[in-house]
Amino acid sequence: MKSQIIKNKSSSRKVNSIKNALWGVFAQFFQLLISFICRTIFIRKLGVEILGINGLYSSILTVLSIAELGIGNILLFNLYKPIKNGDMAKIEQFLNYYKKLYNIIALVVTIAGLIVMPFLKFIISSDVSISNTDIYVYYGIFLLNSIFSYLLCYKQAIINADQRNYIIKISNIIFDLLRSGLQIAFLFILPSFKIYLIIASVCVLMQNLFLSFVVDKLYPQLKQYKTLSLPNEEKSEIKKNLFNTFLYKIGVVVLSNTDAILISTIVSTVAVGLYSNYNMIVTAVTAIINILVMALYASVGDVIAEDDKKKVLSIFNVLQFVFAFLAVFCALCFATVFNDFITFWVGSEYLFSTTTVLIISFSFFFTTFNSCLWLFRENFGLFKEVRLLMISAAILNIGFSILLGYLWGIDGILVATIIAKFLTIYIFEPYILYKKVFEKMPWWYYIRMMFYTALVVVSIALMMFISQYIPLSICGFFLKIFINGVYCVLLSLFFFKTEVFRQVIITIKSIFKKSKKNTVIEERRIQN
């Protein structure tokens, strides 16, 4: 009997790619909508203190997730070749080994999570009126949820590696709907944070069990190789890769998830709740932009495969221009309408100051502007070269956050993250990419970054000046967004005659032409 994977190779991988993209976009917008509805009811029923605890514990458990070491990415990489060859025995060898690794991770996270428990009273500020018993119970359920997320998840890698991750996206939608529906129902019937968290934990476990069942049905041949073990030399290679990935991941996780912990410790746990509202919107917009990034991922890989450095640099400059304008437009919207949105959504008592909103806006701008670096770094596999940068940024972030946090509160902590990234990632990552890949100094990159930074500063000042004359209302909210959009369109005309703008138009046309050509070829192949 032929393996399911070999059968899948005879079907269109192009069709699977389209399914993955469409379900990915739909799942992202669905998750944003359901999260928005659920959080709105959460705030109304449980209040800002519980919101702060929820944001704080999420950050703590994310930091503990560094124990995962980036195993998922390495497993995915190792499965590509045996899936291509239809080697079921080798696939099961990898899965058996990674099952053991994930069980170890679950144990490490459990132990690390329990070690953190005695320190919670120092992290949670005294302005929270929740009993000590509830503080520990809530944390225990959060920890259980994290542990459940590692059980049976190793099987999902074969779905991703076989270009069927739309199955995971569909299951995400189903279980997100189930979880949110139950949580919302209980928030109205019995507003209890314990029940809210227990529902989340049960749904995580149910989804992992469901996907495990799906894998068993799709790939039944794997069962006959359950006893096979991975050769020792391959285990050694995986451990070596894990070490490199681990150093990189420590920096990424600590850099991205310590702000909430430091805000709770230095400022207040309630402030974490306020910050989590803003951060949810920023994360949602970032996720939408990341859909574009991932859509470009394979295309960039194809260009790199041609081994034409001049062409690769040209594409890099084009994408840099696109991401720069995305960053400018979104930063303008955040700066001018963020507090309007929060006011309409949950009320003026959940607002941050204009200064804090500006810092969040600039932080988003720099992150999005440098997305192009991430895209090319991933494609060229420069993990080893940047791992020390990430760790350095994380250490500087913690140091600056403590210092500036005590001086300026939440503004100091958020500014510290920008400073830490500038002193490490934003300066040295372009240098690494340009020297390793383009074989030249990144002077033009630095000049562009300074130019767009000055541009966004002037643009925000201008748009905020105009916005103060627009009254606070729903119509005013959309009018501000419209004005920001018109401004960015007019701004783009300034670049109309530049070489990079011409290349953007050429690239867009070629993408559409190539897409149309591939579609026609695929349709003819299917018909034949």
pLDDT band with cut points at 50, 70 and 90 for residue 299: low
Given a contact cutoff of 8 angstroms between Cβ atoms, the answer to whether 211 and 152 are in contact is yes
Q: What is the mean pLDDT of residues 35-45?
A: 92
Amino acid identity of residue 267, one-letter, is V
Type of residue numbered 396? L
Higher pLDDT, 506 or 346: 346
Measured in whole angstroms, how far is the alpha carbon of residue 505 from the centre of its chain? 29
Closest listed residue to residue 160, CA positions, set 252, 242, 83, 62: 83
CA–CA distance, 449 with 507 (Å, rounded to integer) = 22
Selection from 359, 342, 358, 340 nearest residue 350 by Cα = 342
Report angle CA 396, 401, 407 to the nearest 5 degrees: 135
- Output DSSP code: residue 331: H
How far apart are alpha carbons 80 and 528 in whole angstroms?
28
331 vs 23: CA distance, rounded Å: 28
- Cα–Cα nearest to 274, from 517, 43, 34, 481: 43
Structure-token match 């190793």, residue found: 154
The residue length of the chain stands at 528
The tokens describing 484, both together, are 């920001």
Q: Are 342 and 351 in contact (CB under 8 A)?
A: yes
Number of C-beta neighbours around residue 233 at 10 A: 7
CA distance from start to end of the chain = 25
Position with higher pLDDT, 180 vs 20: 180
**Could you report the per-residue pLDDT of 94-107, keeping only the tens digit for each?**
888 888 888 888 89
For 400-452, what is each residue's pLDDT tens digit? 999 999 999 999 999 999 999 999 999 999 998 888 888 889 998 999 899 99
User: Residue 232 — very low, low, confident or very high, per pLDDT cuts 50/70/90?
Assistant: confident
pTM: 0.85
Share of the chain above pLDDT 90, in %: 42
Note the pLDDT of residue 14: 55
Is 348:277 a contact under the CB 8 Å cutoff?
no
Alpha helix segments (H runs only) across 370-442: 371-380, 383-408, 410-423, 425-433
pLDDT of residue 526: 38
- Mean pLDDT computed over 351-372: 93
Write out the two tokens for 179: 């979880």
Sort residue 416 into left (φ over 0), alpha (ψ -120 to 50) or beta: alpha
Average pLDDT over residues 4-9: 45
Mean pLDDT of 155-168: 80
Closest CA to 339 of 326, 366, 358: 358
Question: Which positions ≥6 away from 9 have C-beta within 8 Å?
Answer: 84, 86
Amino acid at 475: C
